[in-house]
Structure 1
Amino acid sequence: MIRTSRRPLLLAAPALLLPRAAGAQGSWPDRPIRWINPGPAGGAGDVISRLVGDRLSARLGQPVVVENRPGAGTNIGMTALARSAPDGYTVGLASIASHAANRWLHDTMPFDAERDFAAVGLIALVPNIVVVPPQNPPRDLQSFIAWARGLGRPLNFGSVGIGSSQHLAAAQFGQITGIEITHAPYNQAGQMNTDLIEGRLDVLFQSISAVAAMAQGGRMRPIAVSGPERVPAFPDLPTMREQGVDVTTTGWFGLATPAGVPEPILARLDEALAASLQEPDLRERIIAGGSVPRVMRRAEFAAFMRAESEKVGAIVRATGARRG
């Protein structure tokens, strides 16, 4: 059981004759493209948006303007995307929150994640690592489970919010192990990390970029990867599955547009994204930021998001988590 106690940036190719909007003709793109990031400046989604937006700009021959529209667990930014003109000049960052978790967490939604968007492609998986305070005895996942069962109280853990990949991974862990855990949502990762280091939290399922330096410096102890595979930043750290607990929930980012964008524009975006993700420099920079680049084309990405939504729905229903 689990209980739950705008900064635009211009980024700098032959044009393709395509419809700009219903009944209009023109070359696309012939003006800047807006990229909506439904998260805060400086977050993992912001970093991914700017890295990939820069490469799309080079391939498409027009600036890509990244606009941060955070709030309501990505719903504010994604509502703006869904309501944008379907002309190929507005794209946005889809995630496990916007396209898998939120429909199960909110009583009402301002958009339908499947009907109101068109999938372009997956960009990267964003695995979390499980970290504990260095002063506590557990050194691997099984010793942590044994320690937790002997506490005589629920485990305390934090995340960046209900429906985040950190929250969902911890919830899945509680379901599988039967360990009761208490969730504390945070607005800032920095305070959450401090509370773990000082022992006010027992465990974090935290993004690699947020804790890598502290984990490598001994200020917190990594004990597992929450995701289906090991990660380049911690190649010797086994996954939870390798340690006997089949938690595979991981974050991810992909590219989407409003529904109704003309097929030739979607095809060109798909091609440009896939080609960009094959560039060694971009791949290295995504990895350095704690994510794992992954090419997944339009149809496969759409199917992936549907499957993720069903998986997350089962976790949310089991925990009873709600945003209201």
Structure 2
Amino acid sequence: MAGTDAPMRARGMTRRAALGAGVALLAAPAVAQAQWPAGPIRFIGIFPPGGGTDILSRIWCQRMSEVTGEQFVVENRSGSAGNIGTEAIARATPDGRTIGLASVAPLAIGPTLYRKLPFDVTKDFTWLGGLWKLPNLLVVNNDVPARTVPELIALVKASPGQYSYASSGSGTTVHLSGAKFAAMAGLDMIHVPYRGGAPAHVDLLGGRVHMIFDNIPQALAEAREGKVRALAVTGAQRSPQAPEIPTMAEFLPGFEITSWAGVMAPAGLPPPMVQRIARLTRQALEGPDLRARFEENGATVWPADPEEFAAFRAAEERAFAPVIRAAGAQVD
């Protein structure tokens, strides 16, 4: 079978299919044995199905199926702020058949947050490339009367220890955004961690928690449907998807936290395969349809090569360390 990187005819993917757990993302059968060993490629998603990172991962996998002609099967291995799925990637056979999501939570925050991790971020992975960056969005449930960040600060200060913020797990940017907000504004709030963004939103909508700083795709969609109220984004600038929503830094100067994700494999992947996968990843990200779908979900395409990705991850670990220590967020 002749190897080629030419994109194949795109196939649509329904929203329902995109959100289904473990959905196999299929492509036409004739392209890429020279690019990967024969057989389906397992992509380990480290958060539950239905959340923002899962949606974006499936969009990328769909496009990679079209580019390579291979079958990508998404396997969600969630829990412990992405550490369970990340460990599964580290323990996989380095033959190119298993790759997975490289996320800021376990790879840049986890090394400082946790005293011990089940993997070594400097030794257990092969970095393949960047995928996206996106800010978080602070939303409150509709029972919270605050309509601006200053009003929320005043409300929480008036009732210390009575307001809670959800997260997709300890050590995620969702968690640290809330911890940084509490620290910078001098607030006493309760952190309620979940196994991912999707279950956190169930309790947010049900009124069991008061707020969340979640990745922008799901939070913005719920805000536009009137299910929650959006107060601020955590990026350095206002989001192009919602320019009417202010940044946290407009109220708390210096506040900035941005989520990011890439793709990685277990350590020991042969260098020629690393370069092929990196090239195909970049090719997939260059497609205008993928870029548009990422932007619809609040994300910006981030086509970093393996070396750039590795350097960026290390710099992010250094940058997050003082934030974690200042917030007193370190855990066993």
Same fold, TM exceeding 0.5?
Answer: yes
Task: Choose from 243, 250, 253 the match for 2:258.
Answer: 250
Choose from 54, 58, 67 the match for 1:59. 67
Aligned residues of 2:52 and 2:216 also touching (Cα < 8 A): no
Structure 1 residue identity aligned to 2:299: S
Q: Is 2:53 aligned against 1:40?
A: no
- Are the aligned partners of 1:169 and 1:250 in contact in 2 as well (CA < 8 Å)? no
Contact kept in structure 1, 2:126 and 2:268, CA below 8 Å: yes
* Deviation, structure 1 residue 306: 1.0
Is 1:217 the counterpart of 2:220? The answer is no
Distance (whole Å) between structure 2 residues aligned to residue 178 and residue 144 of structure 1? 12
The structure-2 alpha-carbon separation of the partners of 1:37 and 1:110, relative to structure 1 and needing over 3 Å to count, comes to same
- Distance, in Å, in 1 between the alignment partners of 2:283 and 2:224 is 33
Give the 3 Å change call, closer, same or farther, for CA 202–48 of structure 1 in structure 2.
closer
The C-alpha deviation readout for 1:196-220, integer Å capped at 9, x for no partner, is 5576544321232333233123342
165-174 or 192-201, larger mean C-alpha shift:
192-201
1:164–1:60 distance in 2 versus 1, CA, 3 Å: same
CA distance in 1, matches of 2:144, 2:91: 49
Mapped pair 1:303 → 2:318: no
Q: Confirm or deny: 8 A CA contact 1:160 1:189 kept in the other structure.
A: yes
What is the root-mean-square deviation of aligned Cα atoms in Å? 2.6
Deviation larger for 129-138 or 83-92 = 129-138
Equivalent position of 1:11 in the other structure:
26
Look up the match of 2:298. 290
Q: 2:4 maps to which residue?
A: none
Are residues 118 and 143 of structure 1, via their aligned partners in 2, closer, same or farther at CA, if it must alter by over 3 Å?
Answer: same
Residue 91 of structure 1 aligns with which residue? 99
**Shift in Å, 1:322:** 4.3
- How many Å apart are 1:95 and its aligned residue? 0.5
Residues 188 and 50 of structure 1, relative CA distance in 2, 3 Å threshold: closer
Report the AA paired with residue 179 of structure 1.
L
State the TM-score, normalizing by the size of structure 2: 0.82
Task: Give the counterpart of 1:123 among 128, 131, 151.
Answer: 131
Separation (CA, whole Å) in 2 of partners of 1:9 and 1:237: 36
Matched, 1:164 2:172: yes
Residue 190 of structure 1: CA displacement? 6.0
- Which secondary structure state, in structure 2, belongs to the residue aligned with residue 126 of structure 1? strand
1:91 and 1:191 mapped to 2: Cα distance? 25
* 2:292 partner SS: helix
**1:114 aligns to what SS in structure 2?**
coil
Asked if residue 29 in structure 1 is aligned to residue 36 in structure 2, the reply is yes
Q: Deviations over 1:207-260 (max 9, x none)?
A: 323332331233422111012232233121121123343221122211111122
Match among 231, 238, 241 for residue 239 of structure 2: 231
Structure 2 Cα separation of the partners of residues 188 and 110 of structure 1: 19
Note closer, same or farther for the CA distance 1:258–1:37 as it changes in structure 2 (3 Å cut): same
Contact 1:82 1:116 in 2 (8 A): yes
2-structure distance, mates of 1:64, 1:189? 23
- The within-5 A match list for 1:101-120 is 101-120=109-128
Q: How far apart in 1 are the matches of 2:123 and 2:242?
A: 38
Which residues of structure 2 form unaligned runs of 5+? 1-20
Tell me if structure 2 keeps the 8 A contact 1:54–1:64.
yes
**SS class of match (2:248):** coil
How many angstroms does 1:145 deviate by? Answer: 2.7
Secondary structure of 2:99's aligned partner: strand
TM-score (norm 1): 0.84
* Cα displacement (A) at 1:309: 1.5
Counterpart of 1:265, as a letter, is M
Q: Comparing 271-280 with 205-214, which one deviates more in the overlay?
A: 205-214
2: CA distance, partners of 1:102 / 1:238? 29
CA distance in 1 between partners of 2:200 and 2:37 (Å): 44
Structure 1 residue 88 displacement after superposition: 2.3
Number of residue pairs the alignment of both structures matches: 309
**Equivalent residues of 1:231, 1:292 under 8 A apart:** no
CA distance in structure 2 between the aligned counterparts of 1:188 and 1:291, rounded to whole angstroms: 18
1:172-211 alignment, distance < 5 Å: 172-187=180-195, 189=197, 192-193=200-201, 196=204, 201-211=209-219
What is the Cα deviation at residue 73 of structure 1? 2.5
Q: Distance in 1 between matches of 2:268 and 2:199?
A: 42
